[in-house]
Amino acid sequence: MPTRREGEKKLRSTDHGILRARPGRLRRATQPGLHPLLLGEKRDGLLLIPESYRSDKPAPLVVTLHGAGGNAHDALNPLRHLAEERGLVLLAPASRGLTWDVIEGKLGPDVDFLDHALAKAFQCCSIDPKRVAIEGFSDGASYALSLGITNAELFTHVLAFSPGFSAPPGPRGNPRIFVSHGKSDEILPVVRCAHRIVRLLESQQYDVTYTEFDGGHSVPREIARAAVDWFTGVERRKTSS
């Protein structure tokens, strides 16, 4: 039976979207490859460690969030082809329901699962705390914006591909933000969604990089590459050279 203090701590963590896991000392080295998290029976998650990973060189981590009706494998798709090239560790949790809890109006279950998933990733991999991003597509992008802004003490960057909204339950910092959207998106129209989101974020003094592309509700490969270059600093190095 949890004490009242423990119960209050759990309530704060879930109801306000606060994640407690942080990068730290490597506890059990894990070989490169695709690994199930083994944290959920019906809907679990995946941890992708690139072959280039070395435990003595902390790697960048990207939490990847799928769209509505998706799963962990879907979440990996936008960035999977770049993981080896850029040395990215990818963590793909699956939502507890058909989509993420804040969208269904019951913030908590997915926050708790993501916290456990992050804790496991930090135990298995040496992660650079200065390069921790949360990324998502569609509903996953909305969730990435919401949790990324709330947990800026953890997430240095947010990558939002075709988001519908941003609803941080409690802003706690100032992550850098990348937003992309297709000009002909018929599912989440760009004017109603990305334009409104970017205006709001910029009015709140967030550092936002916004890219529109010719296309619909998707993540084109060139957009994914641009986002990863932005996250890893490749774009900044190109500009300064």
The 3 state secondary structure assigned to 186-235 is CCCCCHHHHHHHHHHHHHCCCCEEEEEECCCCCCCHHHHHHHHHHHHCHH
Domain positions in the chain: 4-21+32-240
**pLDDT attached to residue 25:** 83
Q: Give the span between the Cα atoms of 210 and 162, in whole angstroms.
A: 11
**pLDDT attached to residue 14:** 61
Phi-psi sector, 107: left (phi>0), alpha (psi -120 to 50), beta: beta
**pLDDT attached to residue 80:** 97
The tokens describing 241, both together, are 């050279």
Tell me the pLDDT tens digit for each residue of 190-211: 999 999 999 999 999 999 999 9
Q: What is the pLDDT along the chain (241 residues), one digit of tens a residue?
A: 233 333 334 434 566 899 999 999 888 889 999 999 999 988 999 999 999 999 999 999 999 999 999 999 999 999 999 999 999 999 999 999 999 999 988 789 999 999 999 999 999 999 999 999 999 999 999 999 999 999 999 999 999 999 999 999 877 789 999 999 999 999 999 999 999 999 999 999 999 999 999 999 999 999 999 999 999 996 554 444 3
Distances (CA, A) of 167 to 45, 56, 64, 90, 131: 24, 37, 18, 24, 23
What fold is seen in the domain 4-21+32-240?
Rossmann fold (3.40.50)
Q: Which residue type does 176 have?
A: R
pTM (two decimals): 0.91
